[in-house]
Amino acid sequence: MKKFIILMFLMIFLLTFVATSFAAERYAMVVFLKGSEFFNWAYKGMIDAAKMLDPSIEVELQGPSTWDATLEARAIEQLIAKGVNGVIVTAGEASALVPAINRAIDAKIPVITFDSDAPASKRLSFVGTNNYNAGYAAGKAISEWLGEKGKVGISTFPGPAHLVERIEGFKAALAEGIEIVATVNDEGDVAMAETQITAMLQANPDINGIFAAHGNPGPGACAAVRNLGMQGKVEIMGFDFGMPNIELIEKGEMRGTVGQDPYLMGFMSMILAYNANHPTEITSQRPPFGHVPPLVDTGVSIIYKEDIGKYTSPPKF
C-alpha cells in the first residue's frame, strides 16, 4: 500500500509537471476602445503573428468599449492576476497606465505598447506610427490641396499623447500662408465632432481645410460640411482607414486620410512580446527579458481614392 501511495504521488507530480511544461502561452491585447475597426486590424495582426510563432499560443482582446483610462488600467491589472505571458497595450492616457504597466514588468510579464505610447513606464518597446511624422504628412498634403494659403480648423480631444504629437507635426508642416483659426474638442465621438465642427464653420465661414486628428471626427466633419452646403469649399483630411472614412473618400466628400498600419502594429508587437519571453544569444538591455528593440516605426502614408480597395473588408471581433 505504501508503495502504491508513493507511486500515485509520483504520477500526480509527473502529470502536473508535464501539464505545466507544455501549457500554452497566453498573450493579451488591451485597447482603450474595444470594437474599434483600427484595433480590430491590430488584433488580427496579433492573431496571425501568434499562429506563425506557435499555433498553441492563445490570445485575447481586452479593454473598455468606451474611452476610460481607469477601466483600461484595471484590465491590465486583471491580466497580471491571471498570469498571462505578455501584454500588448495602446495607452489611451499614458499617465494613468504607468503603474499597471510597471507592475506587469515587475511581475516579469513583458509589456509592449503600440499606437499610443507610455514612455514614462517600464514598457519594453513601442510599436507604431511616428505620430509627429503622421501629422507632418497631413499638414504637407493639406497645404498642397489649398495652394499653400487659407484657413484651417482641427478636430481632436485632450488626453492621448499621440494626438498632441500629430497636431504638433501638422502645425510644423503647414505652409506659411495657412492659418489655424480654431481647434475643437470632439470628445472622441463622431456626433460631437459634427456638432463642434458645425459651430466652428458657422463662426469661421472662410475655413477651407479641416484636419481630423484621429479616426472619428472625419465623418463628423463631412456631415457638417454637407449640411452647411459647403461641399467643394472645404478640403477634409481624415485619419486612419476605417470604413466610414473609406466610404467618404469614395464619394469624394473626404479628400484623403492618413493611413497607419494597425495590422503591422499588432503583428510586430506579438513578435516582440514573444521574443521577450524567449531570450536568444543576442545580449538584452532589459534582462531577464530577451532582446527587443525599444522602437519599431510602422510608417505612414496618405490614402487617396485610388488606394482604398484593399481596406474595404475590415476584420470583426
Give the tens place of pLDDT for each residue, 215-272: 999 999 999 999 999 999 999 999 998 899 999 999 999 999 999 999 999 999 999 9
Q: Which residue has the higher pLDDT, 31 or 312?
A: 31
Q: Which residue has the higher pLDDT, 67 or 209?
A: 209
Assigned CATH for 131-259 = 3.40.50.2300
Predicted model pTM: 0.79
Q: Where are the domains of the chain?
A: 25-129+262-298, 131-259
Residue holding cell 515587475? 106
Cα–Cα distance for residue pair 13/189, rounded to 1 Å: 55
Give 164's Cβ-side CA count (13 Å radius).
9
Mean pLDDT of 128-142: 96
pLDDT score recorded for residue 296: 97
Cα–Cα distance for residue pair 181/166, rounded to 1 Å: 17
Residue 35: burial class (beta carbons within 10 Å; 0-12, 13-18, 19+): middle
Domains 25-129+262-298 and 131-259 share a fold: yes
- pLDDT beyond 70 at 1: no
pLDDT score recorded for residue 4: 39
Fold designation for 25-129+262-298: Rossmann fold (3.40.50)
Is 192 within 8 Å of 220 (Cβ atoms)?
yes
User: Average pLDDT over the chain, rounded to whole?
Assistant: 92
